[in-house]
């Protein structure tokens, strides 16, 4: 690969050490102005701020550490010069002793592993503190290496001897990381560590004790993913306040469009790619954007880790790539966590959520559950389940449809929609015996035939077999799409894409229902573009079918003009279903 003629900055993907960004020539989004919100008189002194995984929370915590910690005072100008907060000249900068913990390090293999690795995570935070303050005298050599509460209390005693100013700022990153992992495979262990008498509750109670009158803890800042462990935190440390949905923090993690617009030319050579920033943003937006964490927010944010991963891949390939093919593998979004959430929900609740998704409707909830206690109830109720889907990033707030009376939640983008689709196909279709037993005749596709009538007939037989009359009574186009996609994807010889993103000249980005490539990259490669339409049996008429046919034909002509189909063998078909039966399917000509 040739070196770019443009001097690009380094991609900070996977990096969180804020103080090194400038010295290592890393591009970064300036989030420093959010510190001003933390300094407002109406801001709680002990906030908890939640965001989905891989959104940039750790980088933000490291920035706070650089801003507030006394040991960084001599480097303050070097680190923050030309950032938004630098011009504010806040007196609070470098005025605290910061003790920070990263609980993503905690192991989850057993109860003993949790206790010991939690102790180690606390000890690492203390070790880091002692490196920054070499005159601070403290040793934990003789302590039980699973007693993190005594370790913390002994540290506090040593700190009180070290300073009588009460200027300790405790920062906790990923407070719930290990607890969420434990919940996914051992609910009994989760209850033991988070319930009454559990070490986690005792640990936060120790923090609270040192934050009271005469204590040394002036402030705390806590990040995590969900509120499922907040009961342990807030019952032991009940002065903490969940500020996740406040407007001032909407942009604290993730990238705004303006931030991303500035980052792109720093990370990829757009001249060499032959595109401009707006074109790249247009491709990224439907896949990575759409997250909104407050009903008062004026804008949405992009998943920052996804964006950085994609831009890095594009820089390495030196090609304008499709974002849908590049999803950060470290984001841990494979659908398993979504399925796990459904398994610990009230009976029938998963079906309600799936049906709402298939109908394309928003989800409504009066308020988010700020504190979910699975020690009192072993299953999620509706509000708790929808809140968890919001905290984990599967759903997001729709500010236009939300009000003081309740929140509207929706799927944020195509990536999450497809994740939902895969989960639904696993739960609703693949578990159906008829789904496995019934086959589709894909012979005409493999032969690149124009006549696909036997394939169409087999689709009718397949759908009739897997859908009951009750399901058919509220069937819709999305359910139809998903069922066929799930079956086709399981067959050898086909590459199947659902809601495929296509750049249509003069019209921008469009999404084809099903794009089926037979004999991919072989001599007989043939691409079938299918536009599915559905009409309820009681609404079926010749006029209705003709209207849907014309609409599908118009869409298909646009899809065929996409640049990626140029010079390839492409056939397009409107498929109109009434109930489970296909009532119209002919190759589009002209």
Q: Where are the domains of the chain?
A: 19-132+144-249, 257-331, 336-414, 433-585
The pLDDT tens digits along the chain (590 residues) read: 444 467 899 999 999 889 999 989 999 999 999 999 999 999 999 999 999 988 999 999 999 999 999 999 999 999 999 999 999 999 999 999 999 999 998 999 899 999 999 999 999 999 999 999 999 999 999 999 999 999 999 999 999 999 988 899 999 999 988 888 888 788 888 888 887 788 888 899 899 999 977 789 999 999 999 888 766 566 667 788 999 999 999 999 999 999 999 999 999 999 999 999 999 999 999 999 999 999 999 999 999 999 999 999 999 999 999 898 888 887 666 677 888 889 889 999 998 998 888 878 899 999 998 888 777 778 899 999 999 999 999 999 999 999 999 999 999 998 998 888 888 888 877 777 888 888 999 999 999 999 999 999 999 999 988 877 656 666 678 888 888 998 998 899 999 999 898 889 888 888 999 999 999 888 889 999 999 999 988 889 999 999 999 999 999 999 999 988 989 999 999 999 998 899 999 999 87
Cβ atoms within 10 Å of 42's Cβ, excluding its own: 5
Reading the block at residue 29, the tokens are 């989004």
User: Could you tell me the pTM of the whole model?
Assistant: 0.89
What is d(CA 324, CA 122) in angstroms, rounded to the nearest whole number? 39
Place of tokens 């247009």: 282
Topology annotation, domain 19-132+144-249: Rossmann fold (3.40.50)
Residue 96 pairs with which residues in a beta bridge?
69
pLDDT at residue number 207: 93
What is d(CA 98, CA 94) in angstroms, rounded to the nearest whole number? 9
pLDDT at residue number 334: 61
pLDDT at residue number 232: 57
pLDDT at residue number 382: 95
Reading the block at residue 444, the tokens are 């005409």
pLDDT at residue number 1: 44
CA 226 to chain CA centroid, nearest Å: 12
Contact in structure between 146 and 115 (CB atoms under 8 Å): yes
What is d(CA 579, CA 390) in angstroms, rounded to the nearest whole number? 33
Reading the block at residue 113, the tokens are 């592993």
């Amino acid at each position: 690969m040739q070196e770019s003629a443009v001097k690009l900055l380094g991609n900070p993907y996977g990096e969180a050490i804020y103080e090194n960004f400038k010295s290592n020539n890393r591009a970064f989004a300036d989030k420093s102005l959010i510190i001003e919100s933390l300094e407002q008189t109406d801001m709680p002194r002990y906030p908890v701020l939640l965001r989905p995984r891989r959104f940039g929370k750790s980088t933000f915590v490291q920035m706070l550490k650089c801003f507030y910690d006394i040991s960084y005072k001599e480097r303050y100008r070097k680190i923050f010069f030309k950032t938004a907060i630098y011009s504010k000249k806040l007196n609070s900068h470098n005025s605290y002793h910061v003790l920070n913990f990263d609980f993503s390090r905690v192991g989850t293999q057993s109860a003993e592993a949790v206790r010991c690795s939690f102790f180690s995570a606390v000890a690492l935070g203390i070790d880091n503190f002692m490196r920054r303050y070499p005159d601070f005298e403290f040793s934990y050599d003789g302590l039980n290496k699973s007693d993190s509460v005594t370790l913390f209390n002994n540290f506090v005693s040593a700190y009180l001897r070290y300073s009588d100013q009460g200027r300790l700022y405790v920062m906790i990153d990923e407070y719930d990381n290990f607890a969420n992992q434990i919940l996914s495979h051992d609910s009994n262990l989760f209850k033991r560590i988070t319930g009454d008498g559990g070490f986690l509750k005792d640990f936060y109670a120790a923090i609270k004790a040192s934050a009271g009158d005469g204590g040394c803890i002036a402030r705390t800042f806590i990040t995590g993913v969900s509120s499922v462990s907040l009961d342990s935190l807030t019952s032991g440390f009940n002065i903490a306040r969940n500020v996740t949905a406040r407007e001032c923090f909407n942009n604290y993690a993730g990238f705004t469009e303006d931030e991303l617009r500035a980052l792109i030319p720093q990370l990829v050579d757009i001249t060499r790619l032959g595109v401009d920033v707006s074109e790249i943003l247009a491709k990224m937006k439907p896949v990575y954007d759409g997250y909104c964490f407050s009903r008062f927010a004026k804008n949405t944010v992009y998943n920052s880790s996804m964006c950085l991963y994609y831009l890095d891949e594009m820089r390495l390939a030196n090609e304008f790539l499709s974002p849908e093919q590049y999803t950060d593998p470290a984001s841990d979004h494979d659908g398993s966590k979504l399925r796990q959430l459904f398994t610990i929900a009230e009976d029938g609740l998963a079906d309600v959520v799936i049906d709402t998704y298939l109908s394309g409707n928003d989800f409504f909830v009066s308020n988010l559950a700020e504190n979910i206690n699975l020690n009192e109830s072993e299953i999620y109720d509706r509000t708790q389940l929808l809140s968890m889907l919001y905290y984990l990033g599967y759903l997001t707030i729709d500010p236009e449809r939300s009000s003081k009376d309740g929140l509207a939640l929706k799927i944020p983008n195509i990536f999450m929609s497809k994740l939902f689709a895969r989960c639904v196909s696993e739960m609703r279709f693949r578990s159906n015996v008829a789904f496995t037993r019934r086959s589709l005749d894909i012979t005409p596709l493999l032969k690149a035939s124009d006549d696909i009538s036997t394939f169409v007939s087999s689709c009718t037989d397949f759908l009739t077999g897997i859908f009951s009359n009750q399901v058919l009574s509220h069937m819709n186009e999305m359910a139809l799409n998903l069922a066929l996609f799930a079956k086709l994807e399981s067959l050898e010889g086909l590459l199947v894409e659902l809601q495929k993103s296509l750049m249509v000249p003069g019209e921008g980005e469009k999404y084809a229902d099903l794009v089926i490539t037979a004999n991919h990259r072989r001599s007989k490669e043939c691409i079938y573009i299918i536009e599915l339409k559905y009409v309820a049996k009681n609404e079926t008429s010749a006029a209705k079918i003709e209207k849907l046919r014309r609409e599908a034909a118009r869409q298909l002509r646009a899809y065929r003009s996409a640049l990626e189909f140029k010079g390839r063998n492409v056939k397009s078909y409107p498929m109109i279903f009434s109930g489970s039966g296909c009532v119209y399917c002919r190759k589009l000509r002209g």
